[in-house]
Amino acid sequence: MALPVALAMSGCNGGDDGAAGGSGDAGDPLRTYVAHIRSNGIASVDRGNEALQPSFQIINEAEGGMAFDYLGNLYQADLRGGNGGAILVMNQAASRSFGNDLGSLNPAFDREIFGFSTTLDEPRSVALAHRAGLIFVTDSGDSSVKVFGSSGGGDAPPLFTSMTAAAPWDLAYDEEVDRLYVTLADGTIALFDGFVANRPAGETGSITPSADGLSPSGVDLRGIALMPHLAGTGLVVSDFGLESNGVD
């Protein structure tokens, strides 16, 4: 299918496995948030400026992709070291600072979606449907996108699940047209039109990135972001490349 989509490709850091994600909150466009595993093995979210210089740190022990809602709440995928995945929800994370009790996951006012009924295996990233009140989660463990209510918690089953043709990594949702874009490990981007309306929606098309318009250039796509100011629908996509040659 033909779509008005502009693609920009970028490489991943050679030491990144694609699990780390970043997002800015709606309250301050000059803030950046980067999730990663530090040299001491502890996962954290670093908040910094537009130059990626960190100023605060949230210790939440999750390293997956994340998204903020309009209230500054953080939703993040957590692999749990291969012991079944989870989704962390940190209340008002955008206003927290490192060095006090509010800098870490606190069960008194934070929550997680975790347990057998969630069917989460290897959750990689999340996206939000703000108006519908939904969390979309890519799960590379069973090649699916799982959907939960944004107010849910505990051992909650998905509201619905859509399968992908290959292991998914990241996702971006265009709420205005109800279209979901999902990067896949086979170098393509899966499209789901009417994703919320048709629950569960099947794949309606795909994008194969190409540098010359003829031959595929994607190898193992990871991060994706919508760029609404570009003509049509703009997408920025990162490619992990071939691990054997060390080139992204």
| 203 neighbors 193 (Cβ within 8 angstroms) | no
Instruction: Please tell me the predicted confidence (pLDDT) of residue 225.
Output: 87
Average pLDDT value for residue range 63-80: 88
Q: Cα–Cα distances in Å, from 110 out to 73, 159, 234?
A: 10, 21, 34
Which single residue is written with the structure tokens 């927290």? 96
Q: Are 161 and 145 in contact (CB under 8 A)?
A: yes
pLDDT grade for 52, boundaries at 50, 70 and 90: low
pLDDT of 146 > 90? The answer is: yes
Q: For tokens 């100023």, what's the residue?
A: 55
Find the mean pLDDT for residues 156-162: 96
For the segment 220-243, what is each residue's pLDDT rounded down to a tens digit? 677 888 887 655 568 888 776 655
What is the Cα–Cα distance from 132 to 45, expressed in whole angstroms? 26
Q: Which residue has the higher pLDDT, 15 or 65?
A: 65
**Residue 45 exposed, middle or buried by CB count within 10 Å (0-12, 13-18, 19+):** buried
Confidence of residue 93 (pLDDT cuts 50, 70, 90): confident
d(CA 165, CA 190): 8
- Residue type (1 letter), 243: E
189 vs 211 pLDDT, higher one:
189
Q: Is 59 exposed, middle or buried (0-12, 13-18, 19+ CB in 10 A)?
A: middle
- In what order do the strands lie in the sheet containing 179-184? 168-174, 179-184, 189-193, 205-207
